[in-house]
Structure 1
Amino acid sequence: MSGFVDEHPGGAKILKRVGGKDASKQFWKYHNESVLKKYQERLKIGEVNEVAKL
């Protein structure tokens, strides 16, 4: 994850603020269709388990 944090255009601060939470509202506030098309080749889509494996 650290590589993604370092490359995220919005910076690490926002990612750390919403880490472990539902960030849907914050995501859609800044990621419209044009942004998604721009980065579509690099996007990773998947599911997050509800219970963390420690």
Structure 2
Amino acid sequence: MLYDCPECGLPATVTPRGTFSSTSGPVEHVAVHCAADHRFLGPADTLRVLVPRP
């Protein structure tokens, strides 16, 4: 599955990284790597899924 890069919007792949503690409970974090070589580590629920165009 491809996602939008948080910085440039290009297609990005996501690698699950694990769950981190927070004051409101555990939060799943993932690593994002896009076609422009941007890399991020952040909460999984903040990513947008790219929808394939017909």
TM-score by length of 2: 0.27
Higher strand share: 2
Higher relative contact order (CA 8 A, sep 6+): 2
TM-score by length of 1: 0.27
